[in-house]
Amino acid sequence: MPRPFRPRAAALTVCAVLLPALLPALLAGCGGDDEGADPTRQELDWKSCPAPSEAQGGGAPPSPLPGDRGEWSCATMRAPLDWDDPGGDTIGLALIRARSSGPADERIGSLIFNFGGPGVSGVTTLPAFGDLYATLRTRYDLVAFDPRGVGRSAPVACEDDQQLDALLQQDATPDDAAEQRELLRSIEDFNAACEANSARILPHVRTTDAARDLDLMREVLGDEQLHYFGFSYGTELGGVYAHLFPGKVGRAVFDAVVDPTLTAEQGALGQARGFQLALDNYAEDCVSQVEGCPVGNSAQDVKDRIAGLLKDLDGRPVPGVFPRRLTQSTATGGIMQALYSRDFWPFLTDGLEQAYDGDGTILMLLSDSMNGRGENGEYSNLIAANTSINCADAKPRYSPEDVRRSLPAFRSASALFGDFLAWGMIGCTDWAVPGAADRPDVSAPGAAPVLVIGNTGDPATPYEGARRMVRALGEGVGVELTYEGEGHGAYNSEDACVQRAVHGYLLDGKVPAAGTVCR
């Protein structure tokens, strides 16, 4: 998921994109911090799930499982704060589980989900969309977790709600030296707040740390191998796990695949192309409707009018969600949010119509959804966690000069989104913790097959990344499947061909033929 001021725009699965005032969501939470115990000798104490914390996004406890088949249960798993010192302090990682609905003798084990971000709470996301995974539940316990730094798992804390409101209103595409100084100041303030409030956890939220947590989770849950379903950033986490523990990989599926071969700059440039493609497809779809397109007479007219709106908002914001106003930055974020799923395109059309009439409500609600802001004005810790994990992972530190150098390429990739994503690269420049590497290492020789699904219309994790993930995993490991569709991810589109392939592998161990295409 792309986000203002961040070095590597995050990739957030559609499952976790909750529109707080437009789409219903069932949310859950659990867990808490724990210290000082041996994490290798523990039994999980599964209990009813409490209401999610503010860091998880708030809301009500999860509803009963679909089909009146029991309740969700939650537990806290202890893990080392520092994996280089496994006998030292521990943190609590929040887990949620739905027990298998099928016969006990047909149960395979636990299927662990990661829904992306980085920074998405798995504890709230899995029950919100649990009915989509009912078939998988016939042979697996469904398990999700809040990765370290996220939700209830030693959450990173940075700025408060009012400060985040101001940060996200900030002009993310400076036009002159004064605006650039203000942007840099706001980023420095945010990063300093993260260090002041979360210095203990910041050095320990790298994806390699989360991968080691996954292996501990596998062991504590009683599984010989890790059965895994990763979406978006979750594919990077799964790839890093496969590299570290190739012999422990069970049946695994990667959907909406992060390209592991790219630097942060190259990844952001790829997203500029991806979101431009999604906008092109939206515009073409809008003008193809029998009833006509209310936001343009042709596809080019749609895009030109959007560009004109953003230019106007740069100097003249319009009323949004009171008392905030819709700025160029929040409007851009709202448009990008709507491009994550074809199902959101009608919201984009309505939001553009409103904005052209001077009302920024819908576009601001879309932007709020992207940034984890609830209707009550409280933010989850999505932005804080996303920033801290990205900055701990990515070694490059970009300067304003680097951005200016790269702007022509970004603008060529997308006139609408290029500046926004290019300036996002400077978010880690003065981060307190050095980044780990230029790129994640996902090579996993000898691992079991991993089903890797790429979507040709994916804006946030462009299609090319799936093939590169297959190559990076190594010969005989990655198995590519192509979905010719729109939006971020394939399985949750409920395409029958994709779901047959996933179910065939996860449930029956049948690996689809490499190069399979679902249309």
The rounded distance, in Å, linking the Cα atoms of 101 and 198 is 40
Contact 453, 465 (CB under 8 A): no
Residue 493: active-site member: no
* Angle 85-86-89 from CA coordinates, rounded to 5°: 80
Residues 50, 372, 326, 405, Cα dihedral to 10°: 170
Return the half-sphere exposure (C-beta side, CA atoms, 13 A cut-off) of residue 13: 32
CB 469 within 8 A of CB 269: no
Helix-then-strand count for the chain, H and E:
15, 14
Spot the catalytic one: 204, 227, 243, 488: 488
Query: How far is the C-alpha of 301 from the C-alpha of 88, rounded, in Å?
Result: 61
Which residue has 């609600």 as its token pair? 365
The beta strand positions in 146-208, using DSSP E, are: none
Nearest to 323 by CA among 166, 431, 167: 166
User: Which residues fall within 8 angstroms of residue 297, CB to CB, at 6 or more apart?
Assistant: 287
For 346, residues 6+ apart whose C-beta sits below 8 A from its C-beta are none
Identify the CA nearest to 92 among candidates 33, 29, 152.
33
Q: Has 488 been annotated as catalytic?
A: yes
Please state, in angstroms and as integers, the Cα–Cα distance from residue 246 to each residue in 72, 221, 425, 507, following that order: 31, 19, 32, 21
Q: Which of 53, 232, 380, 388 is catalytic?
A: 232
Q: How far is CA 233 from CA 116, 215, 256, 293, 517, in A?
A: 4, 17, 8, 34, 23
Handedness of CA 173, 384, 395, 10 (dihedral sign): negative
> Do 428 and 392 touch, CB atoms closer than 8 A?
no
Asked whether 166 and 158 are in contact (CB, 8 A), the reply is no
- Residue for token pair 């725009």: 9
Query: 330: Cβ–Cβ under 8 A, 6 or more apart, which residues?
Result: 168, 169, 320, 324, 360, 363, 364, 367
| Residue 508 annotated in active site | no
Burial 451-473, CB ≥16 within 10 A → b, else e: bbbbbbbbbbbbbbbbbbbbebb
> Which of these is catalytic: 341, 380, 458, 493?
458
Q: 136-155 burial, b if ≥16 CB within 10 A, otherwise e?
A: bbbbbbbbbbbbbbbbbbbb
Give the full edge-to-edge strand order of the sheet including 478-486.
Answer: 47-48, 73-80, 90-98, 140-145, 109-114, 226-231, 249-255, 450-457, 478-486, 516-518
Determine contact, residues 332/291, Cβ cutoff 8 Å. no
Query: Which amino acid is residue 453, in one-letter code?
Result: I
Name the token pair of 31. Answer: 């867990």
Which positions are catalytic? 232, 458, 488
